[in-house]
Amino acid sequence: MKLVERFLKYVKFDTQSDDLTNLTPSTPGQMTFARELEKELHEMGLSDISLDDNGYLYATLPGNCDHAVPTLGFIAHMDTAPDMSGHDVKPRIVDYQGGAITLNAEQGITLDPAQFPELNDYVGQQLIVTDGTTLLGADDKAGIAEILSAVEWLQQHPEVKHGNIRVGFNPDEEIGLGAHHFDVEKFGADWAYTMDGGAVGELEYENFNAASAKITFKGLNVHPGSAKGKMLNAQRVAIQFASMLPRWETPEHTEGYEGFYHLIGMEGHVEQATLSYILRDHDRARFESRKHEIEHLCNKVNSEFPGCATCEIKDQYYNMREKIEPVMHIIDLAKQAMELAGVTPKVQPIRGGTDGAQLSFKGLPCPNIFAGGMNMHGRYEYVPIPSMEKAMMTIVQICRLAAAK
């Protein structure tokens, strides 16, 4: 099966994850897709194929070397983001010659370089886009298609020597749970790469330290006509708390290594209100400081309104850099592979998280490589076909180089 054909087939599966179900996988569509992939792995003749009850799928392409070679892993996630519907995705291929692309004439939805200037980098290429009513799902079905197409390429070119190649596909990355039930020991790789990055050339081994914070405010409701000196409006206290955080330390005002406080949810009424935040920073000390600031502001609110505010802070994942630096040869290998595939490596920090971060702390060093998708998680998502092809060949070159070394 060709790379693009694979991808166009995969995006038809609705695999949007849901952080409210408390199930693994969080949605039934992910298991449906996993079973389809399991069938494909059998058809390809791979070995050690296993799909567990939580939707984690593993398989092996046996090595063809006559000497000891490290076992490499390649990993991608099956779910798409909860941010926008992944139901009834209608992809199409566009020969991009510049200017705005009409995604949906009826609804007036266009993909315009005036808003997304990165489009100008792909003039003259074929792009896969949506119809503007759903996300596309290149995050991370492009990664799955690239991994399996690379495996198929190696099967068709036995003259290219490689060791055992492990592939792993997991659910629920988009809700931060992708690595939670990943069986590192069963996977059995010496190291791995997640194929879950964005633009062509991205190579990432640094990511945010991450935590969630939920602040609950308890109020007191009485009739507004006789509320003086009695009412405590939990919503107004929540607004007061939100305004106490640094205005410029938010996602829309930060870049690079700069961290942030991000308000992702708010709800309430007079008697109770909640604010939900995610806290992010590459630097561990600043990350801890952000958590302390949330606690400090809760205490400050309580000094004015005793017993009003409580906060619950949970760490989500940490910066994988400390786990990758002792094995930097796996980064050097990926750089060399990209160059052989005609790609200029762009080493940069991830302003987000990846399954590879959690896997690295579980004992499987796992940096992240580009899969090609752009504008992920929304209606303007697209993926250039040449980027997918280069990602596939980067995998091939990694496998070849690891055997040669």
Last residue of a domain, one of 293, 317, 341: 317
Tell me the per-residue pLDDT of 267-313, one tens digit each, with 9 for 90 and over: 999 999 999 999 999 999 999 999 999 999 999 999 999 999 999 99
- Please calculate the CA angle 367-368-370 and round it to the nearest 5 degrees: 155
Q: What is the pLDDT of residue 374?
A: 98
Shared domain for 81 and 28, answered yes or no, is yes
Q: How much is the pLDDT for 176?
A: 86
**Which pLDDT band holds residue 405 (cuts at 50, 70, 90)?**
confident
169 and 34 belong to one structural domain: yes
pLDDT class of 352 with cuts at 50, 70, 90? confident
- Single out the catalytic residue among 14, 40, 79, 146: 79
pLDDT over 70 percentage in the chain: 100
Q: Are residues 392 and 305 in the same domain?
A: no
For residue 93, pLDDT over 80 is answered with yes
Q: Give the domain range for residue 240.
A: 209-317
Tokens standing for residue 106: 């009826």
What is the CATH number for 130? 3.40.630.10
Catalytic, 79? Answer yes
Domain boundary among 317, 333, 348: 317
pLDDT at 152 over 80: yes
* Cβ pair 142, 372 in contact under 8 A: yes
pLDDT tens-digit series, residues 309-345 = 999 999 988 999 999 999 999 999 999 999 999 999 9
Domain identity same for 103 and 162: yes
Is residue 199 predicted with pLDDT exceeding 90?
yes
Q: What is the pLDDT of residue 358?
A: 92
296 and 372 housed in the same domain? no
Q: Are residues 143 and 235 in the same domain?
A: no
Residues 55 and 164 in one domain: yes
Residues 311 and 329 in one domain: no
Number of domains in the chain: 2
Residue that finishes a domain, picked among 300, 317, 334: 317
Averaged confidence pLDDT in the chain: 97
165 and 80 in a single domain? The answer is yes
Q: Is the pLDDT of residue 1 over 80?
A: no
Same domain flag for 162 and 82: yes
The residue from 173, 174, 202, 206 that is catalytic is 173
173 is catalytic: yes
- Is residue 181 located within the same domain as residue 118? yes
What's the CATH number where 260 sits?
3.30.70.360
Express each pLDDT in 163-197 by its tens digit.
Answer: 999 999 999 999 989 999 999 999 999 999 999 99
Are residues 78 and 162 located together in one domain of the fold?
yes
